Structure 1
Amino acid sequence: MSDNSLTIDNILAPELTLCQVPASSKKRVLENIAERIHFQDQTLSETDIFNSLVSRERLGSTGIGQGIAIPHCRLDGLDRVIGVLMTLAEPVDFDAIDNQPVDLTFALVVPKEATSEHLELLSQLAEKFNDGAFCQRLRECTDSESLYRAMREGNR
């Protein structure tokens, strides 16, 4: 995985782009992420993914402000990076740095040893989500297909 062309576009699958997901809490958001990844790849343990995401949250919230969270974790035995984009039906409290509830999440699950890729992708996400108009376009999507398209078109 030393390929430097790792971008949001090539880690996000349409099956892992979910629009208007009902979630009543931060815990439920993280459970949804783990469920969806397991659903797409049965070899990955839903429990391991969930526990890794929760452990990372305990270090400090991944709510970066303005209604956005980027939950992320490393996973043993993973051979690729997995991204999950979700808009939430209702904003939930995520202990974000600005105390605003979150309605836009992009989860990143990376192989245990993929340090530089991990940081590079987090930085790409932060940059994308720094664009208010882009975030607004994502929030306005009403189905997963248009959400996937909007994310791929990005800040272009």
Structure 2
Amino acid sequence: MSDPTLTIDNILAPELTLCRVAASSKKRVLEFIAEQIHHQDETLSDTDIFNNLVSRERLGSTGIGEGIAIPHCRLDGLDRVIGVLMTLAEPIDFDAIDNQPVDLVFALVVPKEATSEHLELLSQLAEKFNESTFCEQLRQCQDADTLYRAMTASSH
């Protein structure tokens, strides 16, 4: 049962697209992601989200190289996929595979019983972020609205 609605523009809300976030560390980025999601849906615990993101990072950094990270985790009681897109004001150390600091972050929080669609989504993201011109375009964005449009424009 493939879910055709699982595309980047369906999981990313303008409210969860943040431009030039000031974050001093990887931990702070993950906290910020959890806070933003909780802010959008108060039934979701920011502590749970943060702890799950951190546990996932312990298995290996989600910094995929070229200044990009795709932190992700599963969450109990979640009935949809939540995406958070952020550019950072200053690149930070994310223990990425190429040791480059990260300034482009797309977080993915998926239901506990995550399926192949969620993996598909991760690979869609990785594929998009493989295009350096696309990443450059995102990094150039000066505000959240432009960033949101840049991220979702090409996913149709």
Q: What TM-score do you get using the length of structure 1 for normalisation?
A: 0.97
Q: Which amino acid aligns with 2:74?
A: R
State whether structure 2 residue 45 is matched by structure 1 residue 45: yes
Listed as ranges, the gaps of 5+ residues in structure 2 are none
Q: Shift of residue 27 of structure 1?
A: 0.2
Q: Which amino acid aligns with 2:126?
A: A
Tell me the number of residue pairs that the alignment of Structure 1 and Structure 2 aligns. 156
Q: Shift of residue 117 of structure 1?
A: 1.8
State whether structure 2 residue 27 is matched by structure 1 residue 27: yes
Q: Distance in 2 between matches of 1:81 and 1:63?
A: 20
Q: What TM-score do you get using the length of structure 2 for normalisation?
A: 0.97
| Structure 2 match to 1:60 | 60
| Structure 2 match to 1:77 | 77
Judge conservation of contact 1:18–1:87 (CA < 8 Å) in 2: yes
Q: Shift of residue 95 of structure 1?
A: 0.2
Q: Distance in 1 between matches of 2:80 and 2:57?
A: 22
Q: Deviation string for 1:6-32 (max 9, x for gaps)?
A: 111100000000000000000000001
Q: Distance in 1 between matches of 2:116 and 2:24?
A: 33
Q: Distance in 2 between matches of 1:94 and 1:139?
A: 17
Judge conservation of contact 1:131–1:155 (CA < 8 Å) in 2: no
Identity rate of aligned residues, in percent? 82
Q: Distance in 1 between matches of 2:28 and 2:70?
A: 15
Q: Which amino acid aligns with 1:140?
A: Q
| Structure 1 match to 2:150 | 150
State whether structure 2 residue 110 is matched by structure 1 residue 92: no
